[in-house]
Amino acid sequence: MLPALTVPPLALYVHFPWCVRKCPYCDFNSYTLNGALPREPYLARLEKDLEAQAPQLAGREIISVFFGGGTPSLFAPDAIARLLETARRQLKLAADAEVTLEANPGAVERGAFREYRAAGVTRVSLGAQSFDARSLGALGRIHSPEETRTAAAELHAAGLANFNLDLMYALPGQDLRGAVRDVEEALALAPAHLSHYQLTIEAGTVFAAQRPSLPDEDLSAAMRDECAAQLASAGLCRYEVSAWASPRAQCQHNLNYWTFGDYLGVGAGAHGKLSFPASGEIVRTTQLREPRRYLAAADVDLARRTIPQRELPFEFMLNALRLTAGFSAATFTSRTGLPWQAVEGQIRAAIARGFLHRGADRFRPSERGLEFLNEMLVDFLPENPEKPSGSALSMATPKPLPGAVRPLFTAIRGANGE
Ligand SMILES: C[S@@+](CC[C@H](N)C(=O)[O-])C[C@H]1O[C@@H](n2cnc3c(N)ncnc32)[C@H](O)[C@@H]1O
Ligand code: SF4
C-alpha cells in the first residue's frame, strides 16, 4: 500500500508580466510595457482567477503570498491592497502570512514602500543585480546603483527592513574584485536576505543571440566562493543554493516551494501545484502565458495535469536538494505519497558519491552536492523516455529565484519558465 499523501502548506503566487524594459538576459515570462499599463483589466482578471480557484481549496489557509514578475511594483499600492482584500475575501489568508512584493529600483514611485506596507506587504525583494554602473548598463538595467541605495534606505524608513536584494555575479567584463565589491555594497544596505545568482545564458534571450564575454568557469567559481565568505562573515547563512539570510529572515514562500508545498498560481503564465489526498493526485495548473491571450480569455482557462508518479521523485528532489538543511524521508513520503523505496537506491548512491550526508533524521546535500546538483538530480529522472531535455537540469543550477518555480513538466515540454 502507498503511504498517505498529506495536505501540505499552501501559498499564493500572483504574476505581473510587464517590465519597463525587457532585460537581455531574462527568460522569465515578462514583456516590455508598450503603452499604458492595462491596470483595470488585469486586476479584474486576477480577481476572477482567485474566485475561480477558491472552491477547490476547501478552506485551506494560505501561509504566504508572492507578487512576482515581471515588475509588480509597476502596480501602485492601492492595486496590491485591492488584490490582498480579494484574496482575503475569496481565500483564507493566515493572519501572519508573509506577503512579498518584487520591486525594481527603477520602477517604484518614491515613497511608495510605506503605502505598500500599509496595503499588507511584509517583505520586499529588490532587483539590485550589481552596484557597478557599467555592469548595470551591460545588463540593460533601467536603474543606477544610487537608485538601489535610495530604495533600500526608503525600505528601512518605511519599516520594511525585511527585504531581499537580488545580486548576480559572473557578469560581462566583471573581475573577482568587482564581484566581491558588489556583495560588500549590498551588505552595506543591511538587507535581511540576499539572493546571489550566477548569470546564466538562457535560450531565447538577447544574450543567447549575442553572447557577451563572461568570466570563465574557474573565475566564476572563485567569485562564488569569495562572495560566500563575505556573506558568511556578515552573519548571513546560506540556506539554499543561492539564498542567504538569518534563520528569522528566510523566505517562507520560497521555502514552501523547496519543501514541495502547494501553491496557487494566478496571473499570466503562472503555475500552481495542488495536492488532493482523497484521490492521491498532485496536480499542476498552468495559466495562459501570453498576457494578451490571458486578458482576452473570457473564461478562466486553466490547464491541469496530474503529475505521473514516475515524475514525482525528480520533482521533489529538484526542490528539496537545493536546501542546505536537506529533507527527511517522512517529508518525501507525505508530500509525494510514494514509498521511501522509490528513491532509496538513488539516495544511497548519492551518499556513496559524497553528494549527500545522512543525519539523524535528514539527508543534507554536501558542499560538493550543492555544487554538482545536476549530477545528483540526473539519477532521479524518470526511467520513461518522456525525458526532460537539458533545460530541466539547467533549472537546477544556482540560478534565478523561483518567485514562481519552473516545474519539471514545463521543461519536458520545452517551454520557458513560469
Ligand atoms: C524574475 S526576476 C524579478 C525581479 C525584478 N523584475 C527585477 O529584475 O528587478 C528575479 C531575479 O532573477 C534573477 N535572474 C533573472 N534572469 C537571470 C539569469 N539569466 N541568470 C541569473 N539570474 C537571473 C535576477 O537577479 C532577478 O532579480
Ligand atoms: S530581470 Fe526583472 S526587470 Fe528584467 S526583464 Fe526580467 S523580470 Fe523584468
Task: Specify which residues 266 forms β-bridges with.
Answer: 14
> Which protein residue's CA is at the shortest distance from atom 4 of ligand 1?
127
Name all contacts of 180-185 with Cβ < 8 Å and 24+ positions apart. 180/223, 180/226, 180/227, 180/230, 181/131, 181/132, 182/130, 182/131, 182/132, 182/135, 182/227, 183/227, 183/230, 183/231, 184/230, 185/131, 185/145
Tens of pLDDT, residue by residue over 236-264, are 999 999 999 999 999 999 999 999 999 99
Length of the chain: 418
CB atoms within 10 A of CB 271: 24
pLDDT above 70 as % of the chain: 91
- Using CB distances shorter than 6 Å, the residues near ligand 1 are 25-26, 28, 69, 71, 102, 104, 127, 129, 166, 168, 197, 199-200, 202, 399-401, 403
Residue 48 — φ and ψ, nearest 5°?
-65, -40
Tens of pLDDT, residue by residue over 366-377, are 999 999 999 999
Mean pLDDT of 337-350: 97
Q: Which of 109-118, 257-266, 406-415 has the lowest mean pLDDT?
A: 406-415
**Which one of the ligands is nearest to 102 CA?**
1
Task: Quote the CA–CA distance of 417 and 268 in Å, as a whole number.
Answer: 12
- The grid coordinates of residue 293 equal 491571450
Taking the model in full, what pTM does it have?
Answer: 0.93
Per-residue model confidence (pLDDT) at position 3: 79
Per-residue model confidence (pLDDT) at position 148: 98
Show Cβ contacts of residue 309 under 8 Å, excluding neighbours closer than 6 positions.
337, 338
- The grid coordinates of residue 260 equal 514541495
Q: Provide the angle, in degrees to the nearest 10, between the axes of the packed helices 176-187 and 217-233.
A: 30
Of all helices (H) and strands (E), which one includes residue 280? Answer: none
pLDDT above 90 as % of the chain: 87
Counting from 1 in the atom list of ligand 1, the atom nearest the Cα of 168 is 25
Please tell me the distance between residue 379's alpha carbon and the centre of ligand 2 in angstroms.
33
Mean pLDDT of 199-224: 97
Counting from 1 in the atom list of ligand 1, the atom nearest the Cα of 205 is 19
Tens of pLDDT, residue by residue over 351-406, are 999 999 999 999 999 999 999 999 999 999 987 544 444 444 443 343 433 333 34
- 10 Å CB burial of residue 361 (0-12, 13-18, 19+) is exposed
Residue type, 306: T
